[in-house]
Amino acid sequence: MYSAWAFKHKPKTLKEVVGNKEAIQKLVDWIKSWDKGIPKKRAVFLYGPPGIGKTVTVEALSNDFKIELVEKNASDYRTEEAIKSFAGLASQYGSLFGTKRIILLDELDGLTGTADKGGVKAITDIIKTAQCPIILIANNAYDPRFSNLRNYCLLIEFKKPTVSEVLSRLKTICLREGIQAEENALKFIANRSEGDVRSAVNDLQALAQGKRKLTYEDVSWLGYRDRQEVIFTVLRMIIYGKTCESAKRAVDMADMDIDMLFEWIYENVPAHLTDPHDLAMAMDALSLADVYRGRIRSTQDWSLVRYVIDFMTAGVAMARVNTKTSGWTPFHFPARIQMLSRSKAERAMQLEIGRKIKRRCHISANRASKEVLPYLRIIFKNNVEMAAGLAKWLDLTPEMVDYLAESEEKARAIKALLG
C-alpha cells in the first residue's frame, strides 16, 4: 500500500516545519498570550500560497502545546447554520474540566458566491465573542470578501521557504526512506518546486519511490514537464474539489484547451475514484459534458460551453462521496491521445487490406477489414507457409505482410517464401 510521503513525513513538531520561522514565532507568541487571558485579537489569519505548510504548522502547534485541534473544512461551513452549529465550541477555553482547544477553519478560499456570504459574517460574529483561539487559513487574506473579517484577526503571512530549506527537508525524507540521493538531484527538485514543499515531496516520491538511489539523470526530465505540474494541480482541484466553485475555477488555472482538459480528467478519474458509485456518478457527469459538446457541434452555439465546464469539473468533484483519500495515486497523460494517431494509421492499413480481400472474396472492404482480417492475423502468426500463400493470393504488399505478421521475424520468414 502506497501512502503519500507528503502525509507520511508531515512535520509533527514546530521545529520540523520548513521555513517561516518568523511567522511561526508570531503564532506561538499569540497562543501563549491566551494563558494570560483573552488577547485583543481572538483569531489569527494565516495566509500564503499553497503547499508551504500553513495547515501543518497549526497541527504541529497543537501537538507541541497539547491543545486539542478542532478542524473545520470549507464543506463544514458552507451555510450560516452549519457555522452556528459549532459556535458553541468556541464559547469556552481551558475550563475546569474541558481541555484547551483551538478551532481551525481551513480553506477559507472555498467560501465563495452569494450562498456563502452569510458564512463569512457568521464566522466574524463567532470571532467577536470567542472564548478560545481561532485560526483561519486562506491563500489570499486580502480578498475583498474578508475585509471586515480581517479587522478582528491578527494577520500572519506565510512565505515560500527558500530552496535550501526545502532541500534540507527532502534530505531528511530520503534519510528516513533509506534512499541515497545525489545532492544536485534533490537541488533540482527543490528549485523546481518554487517553495511548494508539498509538491516537492510529491515529486520526490514520484521519482524515488521503490529505488535505493536517485541520480541527477533520474530527475532532469522533470524540467520538461513544468506544464504537467500545473495540470496535476488542476486535476487535484477538480477530482478532490470540495466545492463546485473551486472545481470550476481550476479551468482558468489550467490554461489549456477545454477538450484537452476533458481528456486529462477522463483519463484520470477512474484511478482516483475507487468507489463504484462515485465513479459511476463522475463518468455520468463526463457523459453529460460530452452531450453538451455534441450540442455545441450541432448548433455551433459556443455559449453552451459553460455547461460542458460545469459537468466536467463541478460534476466530477461532487461525485466523490464515498471514496476516501488514501494512498498516493499518480496522474497520467491521456493514453487515448497517444493511441489516436497510431490507430488512425492502423485503421487505414486495415482498410487497405480489406480492399485487397474485397477484390478476391465478394465482400465489402469495410466488412472484410473487420470480419476476415482478424483470421488472417491469426494465420500469419501461426503458419508461415499458409500466410505466404495467402499473401500471394491476395496480392498483399510487404507493408501489409509486416502489419499482419506483427513480428519482424515472422514477416521476414513469410517474405522469404514469397521470394
Question: For 162, which DSSP code?
Answer: P
Taking CB under 8 A as the criterion, the residue among 15, 66, 324, 362 binding other proteins is 362
Toward other proteins, which CB reaches closer, 10 or 415? 415
Find all residues with CB under 8 Å of 121, minimum gap 6, and list them: 80, 148
Q: What angle do CA 293, 297, 299 make, to 5 degrees?
A: 115
Toward other proteins, which CB reaches closer, 142 or 375? 375
Toward other proteins, which CB reaches closer, 230 or 296? 296
Only one of the segments 77-85, 113-121, 177-185, 379-387 lies at the binding site for other proteins (rule: CB under 8 A); that segment is 379-387
Taking CB under 8 A as the criterion, the residue among 18, 286, 318, 401 binding other proteins is 286
The letter for the amino acid at 84 is K
* Shortest distance, position 373 Cβ to other proteins, whole Å: 9
Taking CB under 8 A as the criterion, the residue among 76, 125, 182, 284 binding other proteins is 284
> In the window 381-410, what residues touch other proteins (CB under 8 A)?
382-383, 385-390, 392-394
Toward other proteins, which CB reaches closer, 182 or 275? 275
The letter for the amino acid at 185 is A
Task: Indicate the burial class of 70 (C-beta count within 10 angstroms; 0-12, 13-18, 19 or more).
Answer: middle
**Is residue 378 involved in binding other proteins (CB under 8 A)?**
yes
Toward other proteins, which CB reaches closer, 175 or 340? 340
> In the window 3-62, what residues touch other proteins (CB under 8 A)?
none
Taking CB under 8 A as the criterion, the residue among 9, 78, 358, 410 binding other proteins is 358
Taking CB under 8 A as the criterion, the residue among 280, 337, 345, 418 binding other proteins is 280
Toward other proteins, which CB reaches closer, 326 or 382? 382
Taking CB under 8 A as the criterion, the residue among 139, 363, 413, 415 binding other proteins is 363
User: Among 265, 275, 261, which residue's Cα sits nearest to residue 320?
Assistant: 275
* Cα 74 versus chain centre, distance: 18
**Is residue 258 involved in binding other proteins (CB under 8 A)?**
no
Could you tell me the three cell numbers for 43? 483569531
Q: Mark residues 213-252: x for contact with other proteins by CB under 8 A, - for none.
A: ----------------------------------------
Only one of the segments 63-71, 162-170, 370-378, 400-408 lies at the binding site for other proteins (rule: CB under 8 A); that segment is 370-378
Q: Contact, 308 vs 289, CB < 8 A?
A: yes
Q: Contact, 43 vs 79, CB < 8 A?
A: no
* Shortest distance, position 210 Cβ to other proteins, whole Å: 21
* Shortest distance, position 235 Cβ to other proteins, whole Å: 16
Find all residues with CB under 8 Å of 91, minimum gap 6, and list them: 129, 130, 131, 132
* Shortest distance, position 356 Cβ to other proteins, whole Å: 11
* Shortest distance, position 330 Cβ to other proteins, whole Å: 13
Toward other proteins, which CB reaches closer, 176 or 277? 277
Long-range contacts from 330-337, C-beta under 8 angstroms, 24+ separation: 330/206, 331/231, 331/232, 331/235, 331/264, 331/268, 332/267, 332/268, 332/271, 333/228, 333/264, 333/267, 334/263, 334/264, 334/266, 334/267, 335/267, 336/263, 336/266, 336/267, 337/263
Taking CB under 8 A as the criterion, the residue among 371, 399, 406, 409 binding other proteins is 371
* Cα 140 versus chain centre, distance: 21
Q: Is 404 helix (H, G, I), strand (E, B) or coil?
A: helix
Toward other proteins, which CB reaches closer, 227 or 360? 360
> In the window 295-334, what residues touch other proteins (CB under 8 A)?
295-298
* Shortest distance, position 239 Cβ to other proteins, whole Å: 15
Toward other proteins, which CB reaches closer, 70 or 394? 394
CA–CA separation, 333 vs 186, rounded Å? 24
Only one of the segments 37-45, 139-147, 216-224, 278-286 lies at the binding site for other proteins (rule: CB under 8 A); that segment is 278-286
Size of the site for other proteins (CB under 8 A): 59
Task: Indicate the burial class of 131 (C-beta count within 10 angstroms; 0-12, 13-18, 19 or more).
Answer: middle
Find all residues with CB under 8 Å of 151, minimum gap 6, and list them: none
CA–CA separation, 283 vs 311, rounded Å? 10
Query: 43 - beta bridge partners?
Result: 134, 153
* Residues near other proteins, by CB under 8 A: 266, 270-271, 276-277, 279-280, 282-284, 286-288, 290-291, 293-298, 335-336, 339-340, 343, 346-347, 350, 357-358, 360-367, 369-372, 374-375, 377-379, 382-383, 385-390, 392-394
